[in-house]
Copies of this chain bind each other. A is one copy, B any other.
Amino acid sequence: MNPAYDELRAVWTRLYRFGHLQALADWDRAAMMPAHSHTARASAMAEMDGLMHGLRTDPQLSGLLARADAEPLDPFQRANLREIRRDWRASNALPAALIEARSLAGARCEHAWRTQRPANDWAGFLGNFREVLRLGRETAQRLSDATGLAPYDALMDQFEPGMTGVEVDRVFGDLQQWLPGLVQRVRAHQSRDDALRGGPPAEPVGPFPAAAQRTLNRDVMSLLGFDFEAGRLDESAHPFSGGVPEDTRLTTRYSEASLMQGLMGTVHETGHGRYEQNLPRDWLGQPVANPRSMAIHESQSLSFEMQLGRSREFAGVLAPKLAAHFGAQAGFEPDALYRSMTRVSPGLIRVDADELTYPAHVMLRYRIERALIEGSAEADEIPALWDESMQSLLGLDTRGNFRDGCLQDVHWSDGSFGYFPCYTLGAMYAAQWFATIRRHMLPGSELDVHIARADFAPVFDWLREHIWSQASRWSTAELAQRASGEALNPAHFRRHLEARYLG
């Protein structure tokens, strides 16, 4: 009945299946593969990339898309067609020569960055980065031409479709009004609290053997509903959520000196993993079944790590588990655990930042990368812009310290512009979901009572109904409206932070 649509469906089913093998190879490379197998794996994955790119850039697709548009599709099929077109456009907007040049320049810059960062070598980095930026600007312009979006918006659209610089300015502008002041008030509050209690909270004291951490982390994942019949937890240098919805492969890493970092990393990845595992089974294989966006994905990991994981009630759930695995100690008492998991301390490094200061790191990067892409800043101005923002947002001096300043992230070195906002948009969405749950489902302290009992079912039911099962059925804006009755609203994030850190 819809022959063009059906033909497109079949192409994307093939892509999904090839993508399964590619996702597995990617996970294996990070979690399992021995060092010397790198070249053979890279060749195999490049061959597959080429095959999949060839399928996505088949000249026949353009005509099929036009014909499918004119077919009598139902609303669900039309949503799938919209997502097919997004995927098609992403592969067809950029000429092969640009893709290759970006890949080479990014690989060169990223590879050199690994040694330039420890050497604090900004000048060396700049030499490679100018080309990465030039190609990033060209990419933005080409994507802009293909989508009709502004250049920076067109980059963001790859990760966060529908999001614009105007909208980010609106929510980050709001955030900037109150966040620096809130950080100061919370720090004063925590100092007074320490003084009242005779000092900062006891920290868990190791060593914590890796084997016991493995068991503990799996226990906590099971408690959080991760399905080990359709996924695994392994270890890698950088924790991630990979694999496919039917076989979700999470990784974490264990330090014998520090227990909570690995555990909260696992809780974070479990949020990503449950989103993947609960994407609608019947739709899998088609783009409409994809996770909605990276900010929505981060809203799941942060729902688990921040909304649930760093709550006072969850600390009470964790405490006896820690004692059972490693023996009782002061650092495992619920109150000490909660105080330590919510300690606010402005620092130079984004990935080590606490919940409250993390958005400042993101706002800073957003400002700079948008100016870079729009041409209102050049690469050599980055350090000065960085210093200025760190001073105004967190009151920290980073002058001359490139290593812990503008050289700290991998994102720019490999040309991934437009991703950073997703982290904080995700934190805001997470707060918005939980505000909705508290408002409509579990008013007053009912949610806290459930969490304290380790009964997360109402939360998971809400997330499943409103987020997981909806996949890419709606635009992000409509998803938010349907789930919470309103568009993205940073007020929920503010209320969450004030309640947790000043309450």
Footprint of B on A, CB under 8 Å? Answer: 14, 17-18, 20-22, 24-25, 28, 32-37, 39-41, 43-48, 51, 227-232, 244-247, 284
Contacts and interface: CB of A to CB of B under 8 A. Distances in A.
Given A17-B47, A18-B47, A34 B244 contact: no
Contact of A21 (B21, B228, B229): B21
A38 to B, nearest CB: 9
In the complex, the 7 A-B pairs of residues with the closest C-beta atoms, listed nearest first: A37-B247, A40-B246, A20-B44, A17-B47, A36-B229, A17-B44, A36-B230
Given A17-B44, A18-B47, A44-B18, A28 B36 contact: no
Given A24-B24, A24-B28, A25-B24, A246 B18 contact: no
A123 B35 CA distance: 52
B246 A39 contact: yes
Nearest to A28: B24
B41 A247 contact: yes
Contact of A41 (B18, B20, B48, B231): B20
B229 A35 contact: yes
Most B-side CB within 10 Å, residue of A14, A40, A47, A228? A40
Nearest to A17: B47
A416 B232 CA distance: 33
Contacts of A247: 33-34, 37, 40-41
Mostly helix, strand, loop or mixed at chain A's interface? helix
A230 B44 contact: no
A232 B36 CA distance: 12
Contact of A40 (B28, B36, B228, B244): B244
Contacts of A41: 20, 246-247
A47 B32 CA distance: 24
Given A33-B247, A227-B36, A21 B25 contact: yes
Contact of A228 (B14, B34, B43, B246): B34
A37 B41 CA distance: 23
9 contacts: A17-B44, A21-B44, A24-B25, A32-B232, A35-B229, A36-B229, A36-B246, A37-B231, A41-B246
B18 A48 contact: yes
A17 B32 contact: no
Contacts of A229: 34-36
A63 B17 CA distance: 32
Contacts of A45: 21
Nearest to A231: B34
A230 B34 CA distance: 5
A228 B32 CA distance: 12
A347 to B, nearest CB: 37
Contacts of A35: 229
A43 B22 contact: no
A235 to B, nearest CB: 13
Contact of A34 (B17, B18, B32, B232): B232
A109 to B, nearest CB: 27
Most chain B CB within 10 A, of A37, A46, A245, A284, is at A37
Contacts of A46: 17
A41 to B, nearest CB: 7
Contact of A43 (B17, B37, B227): B17
Nearest to A27: B28
A33 B27 CA distance: 12
Nearest to A47: B17
A39 B244 CA distance: 12
Contacts of A231: 34, 37
Nearest to A244: B40
A20 B34 contact: no
A230 B39 CA distance: 11
A9 to B, nearest CB: 14
Contacts of A21: 21-22, 24-25, 44-45, 48
A20 B40 contact: yes
A48 B37 CA distance: 22
Nearest to A46: B17
Contacts of A37: 230-231, 244, 246-247
Contacts of A48: 17-18, 21
A89 B25 CA distance: 30
Nearest to A285: B43
Nearest to A14: B47
Contacts of A47: 14, 17-18
A45 B244 CA distance: 14
